[in-house]
Structure formats: C-alpha cells, structure tokens
Structure 1
Amino acid sequence: MEPLFHPLTISLAERAALLVVAALLLTRVKAFRSILHHRATLKEKLIMVLIFSGISIYGTYLGIPYQDAIANSRVIGTVMSGLLAGPWVGAFTGVIAGIHRYSLGGFTALSCAVSTVTEGVLAGLVYHALRKKRDVTWQAALVVGFIAEWMQMGIILLFSRPFDQALDLVKTISIPMSLVNSLGIAIFMIIVGLVRTEEDRIGALQAQRTLRVADRTLSFLREGLTTEAAGSVAEEILRTTNVAAVAICDTKKVLAHVGIGSSHHLPGREIITNATREVLEKQEVKIAQTKEEIGCTEKNCTLRSAIIVPLLTKRGAVGVLKLYQDRTRKLSAVDLELVRGLGALISTQLQIAELEKQSRLLATAEIKALHAQINPHFLFNALNTIVSFIRFRPEKARELLIYLSDYFRRNLHDSGGFVTLAQEIEHIEAYVAIERARFDEKLKVHVEIESGVEQTIVPGLVLQPLVENAIKHGLLPKREGGSVSIRARRVQNSLELTVADDGIGMERDPFAPLTQTRERADRLSGIGLANVKGRLHSIYGPPYGIAIQSEKGNGTICTITLPLGGESVAQSVYRG
C-alpha cells in the first residue's frame, strides 16, 4: 500500500515547521511590528531585508538534496517579505537569497536564483495591490505561495538543462513543495494576523484605561501640578492599572507616591535619583531595570523596576510620572505604552491648565487696565464735585468722600473676582451717588432686586461697567438727562440681570472690532462691554452671557444671563 503523502512532503513539512517557529520569534522584533503597522523606517526595512534573507537562506540549508538540486522552503521567507513589506523589500530579499542559492551550484542554480527574485517581487506587488483596501489575508497568502512555487517550476523548465532531468525533477518536487510551502506561508500569515489582533486588543485596553484616567483626573489638574493634584492623579492611576506603585515629581521634589513603598518614598523629599534627573534633562522616557537604578536605599523595598516619563509643557519638562513594578511582576510592553499615553495625557492637561491660568490673568489685567484708564477722569470729576460742596454743604461733601473711597476700595478688591449680587449693587450705588451729585435731577436710577437673589454669587464688576456706560454715553449727552433701571430676577434656572436706560441709544455694535475713527470715549465704552462679554463667556460658556438691544434715540437694554447654582463651578474654572 502506497503512503498517503510522498516522503519528500513529510520531510519538507518538518523543515517548514522550523521556519514557522522562526516566524513566531520574529513577531517580537520591533522592526517587524513597525512593518505590520505600515510605519517602518528605511532602517527598519533594511533590517527586515536581512532577517527575511536569513530565513530564506536557512530554508535553503534545510532543503533536501535531490538529483543535483535542492527541494527546499526558501520561498517562505522571500514571499513573506514581499507580502508584509512591499516589492522593494521582497526584491532585495530575493536578490540576496537568490545569490546565495546560485553560489551553491547545481544544474538548477540559475533558475532557482531567478525564481527567488521573481517570487519576492510578485509577493510585493500583491501587497501593493491589497494594502489600500485591507491587509493580506492568510487565504491570499496561500494562493500567492502556490502560484510562486508553480512559477518556480516553470522557470526551472525554462532555464535548466538537460530538459529531461529538469522535467523529472519538477514531476517529483512540484506537488510537495507547492503544498508544504504555500501552507507554511499561510500559517506564517495566520501568526501575523494573531499578532495584529492581539496588538489591537492591547491598544484598545490601553486606550480605555487612559481615557478612564483622563475622565477622572481632568478636574484635579486645573490648578497645575500641585501636591494635592499629583496625589489624586497618582491614586487614580494606581486604581486603574496593574502596577505596584505610582509616583509624580516636579523638577525638585516628590509630589506624590502611592502603592508599595509609600512608607519610605515620602512626598516632599528632594529628587535624589539620577534616572529622574536624566529624564528631566533629556526629556525622554527611561526604563529603570534594577533597584539601584530606581535609587531606593531602603533594604526591604520590593520595587524592582520603573518606567519614567517626562511631563512636558511649552516651558519644557515640569515633572515626571513614574510607574513601578515589584519583584513579582516585570514591566511589559503594555506598561510602557500605557505610561507613555498617561504622560502625554497629563502633559496636555497641564498645558491646558497653563492656558486657562494665562487667560484668567489676561482677563484680570484687562479689566484693571480698563479702570486704570477710566478712573483718573472719574476721580478728577468726583473731586471737583466734592470741592464744590465743601464750603456750602460740608456734610454732603463728607458723604461723597465716603462713597468715593468705598467705590475705589471695591474696585481694587473686586477686580476680576466674585462677589454677591448685593455687594455689586452697593458698588453701583457708590458710583451712582457721586454721579448724581454732579448732575442732580438729570440722573435718576431705579434698582429692583427680586427677593432671595441678593446673595447669589456673580463675577465682580459685571454690572458697574454697564451702568457707567448707560450714564456716560446714554443719558448725559441728553440735555434733560434720563433714568437707568437695574433689575435682577430669577428666570427658571437662571439669574437675569438687566440694565436699561432711556438715553440716546447706540448706532454701532459695541462688540464690533475697534477702528481708528472711533472716539476715545466710545473706545473705552466698547472695551468695558467687550470685557464683560468675554469674562462671562470664559466663566460660564454658552448659552450664558450678555445681550444688547439698542435703537438710536430710544435707549439701550443690556441683559446678562447667569446660571443659578453654578457658583462653585464658576469659581473652580475662573479664579481672579
């Protein structure tokens, strides 16, 4: 009874299995993983040419001598190089493996060398044709391997002489080689697919963990890299990951250390490890593989390895994040990618915190600059008014001086911060009392505050610029003067503040860009209104803010809408 498989088939299968094992080891090479993700550098592609050439040459040496030729699995390495890295890698791999085969001699030496190059190019062209749509599947690899082997048989018949000997060789080796090698290529590609799937799974898990940390730590870092923020972030990372300990440092000291070793890795201590200093200086990730590299002098400390990543902003490195493992578990590639992601996440949050801080400082500086420009004129007019009262109405002069001092005290104290609505109204009353003394019956002010909203927290100096604008630019240009109404009331879940006047109205949009033709007073008025609008937008966001209705000759109505119950949120976002 004849055996089910030709003995040559079994021998080739045994040798091809060794190449499959080599393929499994190959998946651990960094350059190979870069090839899988289509982001390999030229250097990494050259490395892959050498590796696949080695696999092809090894396949030749594993071959079985037969009739002055070699039945081998060289095609596995050559075809896989083309299928995974493209025609150039496939061609160069084929050239190296083909030259090696030609050097071994035999009547099929030239035909085998030519076919090896052709197989690499063929596989590379298949890669080029399929990569835009999808990765090469194991089924496609099986077909390519089968075609490559039969193409080799055709080249042997075309170039090898004597022809009868070549035909006899092809009859014997064609089926075993095409069957075993095409299956070997397919199995190789299955392994590659498993590696891709595993990397995708690990990547999804890492992304999930990173996003979870991001969601839970965003609020902690709003004030920057403080001790409290570092402690909260470190606790959250420790809960979310499988590391032994987490530490966060600034450029000088340890801010937080949670997990194993927290009894002696104490916050507040100066940085003493060279590894941390190196990361801060070079701004690159570093892996500490030993206890000595970690720099712990405690004999009983079980921490054995750490990954240290820099925390970067536009100012450079502002700190480091450390993830530790103990003697029971080694740091893995997953840990490395996770800590890279967390480091980038925290760095981004710190940059956002810096931008928010700069925005707050800018808003505060702008409103202080605005008052620095306006107040000298107001002070000059107020003092002239008080001087006119001193001789004939000294008590009134004394009262106005009290109002004036109160006005400037609140300006200095409240500029950019938060106050109660009652305090803001008191500030307005001090301002109005002085203006009323100047213009007497030409100015009337009505205040109507709904009961229960007096203690609502509002941004300081949010109403006073509107009242000032109404008086100076709405009422005083009118010979007979006019009135200003200030109202505050609840509207569902919002606080509605209204400043309305029956003055001359406005022709221009106060929020329009400044032009050289606008008068100075109008410019200052526009800055005041724009400042209020910008502050409200940065604190609360839409739909809250300021709306202005004005008609030439018919007055102006400014309406501010603020959220009720949003005081704590506002103060956490915007601190003057």
Structure 2
Amino acid sequence: MPTDRCDDRRGEATFATLRVAARAAPWLRAGLTPETAGGAVGHLRALLGVRAAALAGPDAVLAWDGVPDCHRERMAGHAGAALSSGRARVLAEEAPGCERPGCPAAGAVAVPLEAGGRVAGVLLAYDAEAGAALLRTATEVARWVSGQLELADLDALRRRAAEAEMRALRAQISPHFVYNSLTTIASFVRTDPERARELLVDFADFARYVLRRARDLTTLADELRCVDRYLLLERARFGDRLRFTVQVAPEVLGVPVPFLCLQPLVENAIKHGLARSGGPGEVRVVIRDAGAEAHISVEDDGLGMEPEQARLLLDDGPRSGRGEGGIGLANVDLRLRQIYGDGYGLVVESELGGGTRVRLRVPKRAPATGTARWPSP
C-alpha cells in the first residue's frame, strides 16, 4: 500500500510538471519577445520551483515573475554575465546585489538559452540559496526552453519559405493571360466602352486578389470569385467558343482551401480543352459536400491526352503542365500535400479524345499545422 501511494504521488508530480510545460510551450514556440516571455515566465518559475524567475534577451530583460522585487534593477547585469560568457553561472558568490535583510531570493543562477547556434537569451532563477542543485535544475529547464526556441526558429523559416513560395506563385501568373486580357479589353474600348469598363473592373478584381497579402488559406467562396473573374475575362477573349458551368453546394462556401488552388486548374482546362483544339469547348467546375470534406473537380471536353502525359502535369520539371508561364498543377499538388498530407494531392484523369478531369478534396476544418494560417479579415 505505501508503494502504491508513492507511485501515485510520483505520477501526480509527473503530470503536474508536464502540464506546466505544456502551458509554457506555445508561448516559447512563438519566439522570445516581451509578450511571449511574459506569458511563459510564470510557468517556468513553477517548473523551477523558485521564488522568482526572469527571461532576458540579448539586449534587455523581457519578463520577470515572483514575489521579491529587489533584484529588478540588477537583472540585466546578472543576465549579461551569462550572455558574455555563454556559460551557466551561479551568482551567489557575486551577491546578486540585494541588500534587503532576509531576502527570500538572495541566491541566483543564470543559464544561457541557445537557438540556431547562437545565444538567444538567458534564464534567471532566484531562490533563498543558489548552488549545484539549482544550477542543474535551471540548466535542464533552459535546455528545454532552448529546444522550444529552436522549434520557433524552424517555424519562422517555414513561414518565410511559404511566403517566398507565395511570391513566386504570384510571379507565375501567365503573362500571356495578362497581355491577352488587356488586348481584349482594348478591343472593346471603341466598339463597346461599357463592356470594356466592366472587363477592366473584372481584371482589377482578379489582380487584386492574386496580388494581395495572402495567408496560406482562404475560403472556397473567395477562390470561386477569383475563378469567376478569370472566366469572364477568358470568355471575352474566346467568345461563344468557351462555355463554362459552375455547380457548388452552398454549405461548402466557407471551407478553408489553399490560396490560388482553383484558378490554375481552370486555366489548365481552358488550355487543354479549348486553346489547343481550336474549336468550341466547355469547362465544368463541380464542388460537392462530402461529409467531412469538400470534393472539387474541374474538367474539360477537349482533346485529352495519354496517361503518361497526364502524369507529367504533376511533374514540376521542364515538361510539366505549367505552360506559358502559368502556375503549374504540380505547384497546387505540392501545396495540398504539404498542408493536408500525401493523401490529398491532385488526381488527373484523361484519355485521348475524352477530355481531362482534375480532382481534389479538402477537409472542411482548417489544418492544425505550423504553416497553414487562416486569412485575415
């Protein structure tokens, strides 16, 4: 029976420690700033079991938590000692500087925090006494904090990579489409000024959406508005040769989807279903509610292609389906897999003389990843 009680206490202590660490982790995963340090430092003090704790960056103390307030003015100096040496230090012998009789935090340790091969900050722990035991505890906590800061750096790198990819994505909008659209608009200026004005507004709306400061995710409704503007401009260019239909289940309009995931599919359909055939063609966009997912298909009734050529549409090489500088299907396929997993890539179905259909499916709930973000209002 005593053994069971001991095991229970040990289990409770482990659970309490993990719970406190879990509360601090989200703050630290956002990097080391005054706001995040303020959110994490109280939890770190609980992990350390000390009277006071502080987090400092390379240039300043960011946050402090604890009852004693007599070291506040000297904390920067305490952190500086660890920053300059890059080593953990016991500050008891240096007298943390408190002249308050009976100070409950007269001893202190300072441990550097490392991330990306550099000293990113310092963890300070204050207690009645500072010695080897407190130093070991603070070192282990600092090692864990450093790990969270490393993850924060990786998250930041992924965000920068995603933003760079998005800039490259925008740069791939077909210059031929831009040229053809403006040429078509110019052709209506004399013959039908009102139509020219409407098309110019459509072009401006399309460009504004494509070039906006976007997040990884937008809504299906926004993507469809972009496709609608794109189709109106292409319809003005091809006239009655281009027919298109869009069927959408209203309940999926708010589903989060990757930015610019539909327009490239429609552009590919027009290219293969109409531009290459030289005759009339139809593009169909169908979006269905499938329970926990939305199922999307974009198809044309054009010339179609051999299965091997269809596979090349998802190849990001020189023979890929990018075509005329447009956004390749490979780009959309890659982003879908990065956000949702390998089971959510594009599926291309085609046969000679039978048209081409591209299918994708997306979960209705936004993915809980470090890179996918909901659009700003």
Q: Tell me if 1:238 matches 2:45.
A: yes
The 2-side partners of 1:531 and 1:298 are apart by 64
2:121 alignment counterpart: 319
Counterparts of 1:69-148 in structure 2, within 5 Å, are none
Q: Which has the higher contact order (CA 8 A, sep 6+)?
A: 2
2:332 alignment counterpart: 532
C-alpha displacement of 1:560: 2.9
The 2-side partners of 1:555 and 1:262 are apart by 75
Q: Residue 21 of structure 2 contacts residue 43 of structure 2 at CA under 8 Å; is this kept in 1?
A: no
Query: What TM-score, normalized to structure 1?
Result: 0.56
- Give the 3-state SS of the residue equivalent to 1:436 in structure 2: helix
C-alpha displacement of 1:401: 0.2
2:284 alignment counterpart: 485
Deviation by residue 1:354-391 (Cα, 9 ceiling, x = unmatched)? 22222222222223223224343322111111111112
C-alpha displacement of 1:435: 0.9
1:511 alignment counterpart: 314
Deviation by residue 1:257-283 (Cα, 9 ceiling, x = unmatched)? 122236984xxx8x8633311322332
Which moves more between the two structures, 528-537 or 305-314? 528-537
The 1-side partners of 2:102 and 2:339 are apart by 50
Residue identity in the other structure for 2:339: I
Q: Given the alignment, which residue of 229, 248, 259 partners 2:55?
A: 248
1:469 alignment counterpart: 268
Counterparts of 1:251-330 in structure 2, within 5 Å, are 251-261=58-68, 265=72, 273-289=76-92, 293-295=95-97, 302-314=104-116, 316-325=118-127, 327=128, 330=129
Q: Residue 286 of structure 1 contacts residue 309 of structure 1 at CA under 8 Å; is this kept in 2?
A: yes
The 2-side partners of 1:564 and 1:283 are apart by 48
Deviation by residue 1:228-263 (Cα, 9 ceiling, x = unmatched)? 322232222233342222211211222221222369
1:224 alignment counterpart: 31
Rg larger in structure: 1
- Give the 3-state SS of the residue equivalent to 1:321 in structure 2: strand
1:149 alignment counterpart: none
The 2-side partners of 1:241 and 1:212 are apart by 14
Structure 1 regions of 5+ residues with no counterpart? 1-203
The 1-side partners of 2:34 and 2:359 are apart by 41
Q: Are residues 315 and 571 of structure 1, via their aligned partners in 2, closer, same or farther at CA, if it must alter by over 3 Å?
A: closer
Richer in strand (by share): 2
- Give the 3-state SS of the residue equivalent to 1:302 in structure 2: coil
Richer in helix (by share): 1
The 1-side partners of 2:207 and 2:38 are apart by 41
- Give the 3-state SS of the residue equivalent to 1:374 in structure 2: coil
Residue identity in the other structure for 2:87: E
Which moves more between the two structures, 279-288 or 404-413? 279-288
Deviation by residue 1:526-558 (Cα, 9 ceiling, x = unmatched)? x63333333333434454x32212224233333
Deviation by residue 1:436-458 (Cα, 9 ceiling, x = unmatched)? 11111222222222122222333
2:176 alignment counterpart: 377
Q: Are residues 353 and 510 of structure 1, via their aligned partners in 2, closer, same or farther at CA, if it must alter by over 3 Å?
A: farther
Q: Are residues 241 and 280 of structure 1, via their aligned partners in 2, closer, same or farther at CA, if it must alter by over 3 Å?
A: closer
Q: Given the alignment, which residue of 327, 336, 347 partners 1:548?
A: 347
Q: Are residues 275 and 474 of structure 1, via their aligned partners in 2, closer, same or farther at CA, if it must alter by over 3 Å?
A: farther
Q: Residue 311 of structure 1 contacts residue 321 of structure 1 at CA under 8 Å; is this kept in 2?
A: yes
Q: Are residues 312 and 478 of structure 1, via their aligned partners in 2, closer, same or farther at CA, if it must alter by over 3 Å?
A: same
Q: Are residues 377 and 257 of structure 1, via their aligned partners in 2, closer, same or farther at CA, if it must alter by over 3 Å?
A: same
1:428 alignment counterpart: 227
Residue identity in the other structure for 2:313: P
Which moves more between the two structures, 308-317 or 530-539? 530-539
Q: Residue 206 of structure 1 contacts residue 334 of structure 1 at CA under 8 Å; is this kept in 2?
A: no
Residue identity in the other structure for 1:349: Q
Structure 2 regions of 5+ residues with no counterpart? 1-10
1:17 alignment counterpart: none
RMSD between aligned alpha carbons? 3.3
Q: Residue 502 of structure 1 contacts residue 556 of structure 1 at CA under 8 Å; is this kept in 2?
A: yes
Q: Given the alignment, which residue of 254, 264, 268 partners 1:455?
A: 254
The 2-side partners of 1:205 and 1:336 are apart by 24
Q: Residue 209 of structure 1 contacts residue 240 of structure 1 at CA under 8 Å; is this kept in 2?
A: no
